[in-house]
Chains A and B, each alone.
Chain A
Amino acid sequence: MTRIPRWPAVGLALALGACSDIAPPVRNDLYEWRLIVPNATSTALDSLSFQWPHDRLPVRIWAEDAAGLPGYVAGGIAAWRPAFLYDEFDATLVGDSAAADVIVRASSPPGPALSRVRLHAVAPECDGATDLDISDDHTQLRLPVRVYVNPGFTPDAAALDRCMALTTTHELGHALGIFRHSPETTDLMYSDPTVEAPTERDLGTAEILYHVKPNLVPVNGER
């Protein structure tokens, strides 16, 4: 029997290995992030997609110094960071609310008349909301984005801490551009979230939305 020489095969395998590229993940596990609203002038629907432009990064977030909010916001920024491999989004805490793109308060949101679009998150120990002021023609997002994280009255300090942390991270998910809730109960962006950090599906959705052309641009509004 003829013995087949192994070295050429080994060499070929090494050469092919040297030429192969890294294999990107299949990014199809995501949910609808666009805000779908009736068009102002017709019966059609508008799908509104928003991302912070690169020249506005890092997004400046002011957090009210109450209920430990600055710490929860810092944790929320860090929790979303793994979504962005190519510097698509970044945020930082600032001390001056007048210069902020996003304002986070430890209170209930004002009456519904003051907000155009409100996204809620509800948990037993606390609740949150994000108000988006979108122009009538559906082309502009007026800044600042206003986020409310309201601590409830509970004797369980650990449960309150957990709720504040996950609700703040959830609301920051809206502020960075996820304008819908996930249909999956196990995602952080579910309307009544229970997990403490963004899931791979949450991160994947945030990542994709920063690679799709947006149709809302941020503009400075009333403060």
Chain B
Amino acid sequence: MHKTALLLAVLLPAGASALAAQTEYYARLGAVGASDLLRDFIVQEITVRQSVAPMLALGGSLPIGSAGYRAGLEATLASGGFHSKEGGAETDLGTLRTATAMLDVEGPILREFRWRLGLGGIKYWPSDDEGIFLEGGPLRFLAGAGLDYRHPVLQKWDLLAGLRYDFHRFTTDQLDRRGFGQTQGVSRVSLSVGLSRSAR
């Protein structure tokens, strides 16, 4: 019993230390744009869309096997305006924040380029619980893919540029309550640059 405990006491910190040494962390800043959140028709067509918004992305990854694949977690936060458009007239509907969290896998393509695929969720946080968000912002399932470019700039640091595409189906409790059926497919594209602490 004492031997087992002693072995664990020696191996666990060593394992954690090895894991920490292989973990990569990164932070990127950029912008995200999205397709229409909603298409409605009252007398004439009404669309609701988020403006292009500044975005912060944070993430980390661990190696899977020895072929250059990694698994990780990436979270983003974006905050910007959203507006409706009806007959050419735009109405400012306030501020809309979105947060995403995605579990992803990545692998090498060639040289400094890597692909990325992920699944996760997106949460909408409107500044005011009004209009389509009268009953709060939804949490929706999210799927995404991306392309990373890494270029070493220091011994342990890489310049990291990320191009991301993700997709989710949008609706809100208030839209359900007012009789909307199905959901709206929303595509988002982001471009961001930052630094990654490499596991080299």
Q: Which chain A residues have a beta carbon within 8 Å of chain B's beta carbons?
A: 17-27, 54, 81-82, 84-87, 90, 200, 203, 207-208, 211-212
Does B111 interact with chain A (Cβ within 8 Å)?
no
Chain B residues with CB below 8 A from A84, complex form = 131
B143-180 with Cβ < 8 A to chain A: 167, 170-171, 174-175, 177-180
Give residues of chain B (119-147) contacting chain A, Cβ–Cβ below 8 Å. 130-132, 134
Q: A22 to B175, Cβ gap below 8 A?
A: yes
Q: A21-B39, A22-B181, A87-B84 are in contact. List 20 more A-B contacts (CB 8 A).
A: A17-B185, A19-B185, A20-B185, A22-B171, A22-B180, A22-B183, A22-B184, A23-B182, A24-B39, A25-B179, A81-B130, A82-B174, A85-B131, A86-B40, A86-B91, A87-B91, A87-B130, A207-B42, A211-B86, A212-B43
Complex: how many Å from CA A22 to CA B38? 7
Number of residue pairs A-B, CB distance < 8 angstroms? 76
Question: Given A19, A85, A211, which contacts B178 in the complex, CB threshold below 8 Å?
Answer: A85
The reply to whether B40 and A24 form a contact with Cβ atoms under 8 Å apart is: yes
B134 contacts A25, C-beta separation under 8 Å: no
| Contact A87 B131, beta carbon cutoff 8 Å | yes
Q: Kindly provide the distance from the CB of B184 to the nearest chain A CB, expressed in whole angstroms.
A: 4
Interface centre among A25, A84, A90 (most CB of B within 10 A): A25
A-B contact pairs, 19 of them (CB 8 A): A17-B185, A18-B167, A23-B180, A23-B182, A24-B39, A24-B41, A54-B91, A81-B134, A85-B131, A85-B132, A85-B175, A86-B84, A86-B93, A86-B132, A87-B84, A87-B92, A208-B42, A208-B43, A211-B42
Category for how many chain B residues contact A:
20 to 34
B48 / chain A contacts, CB cutoff of 8 Å? 86
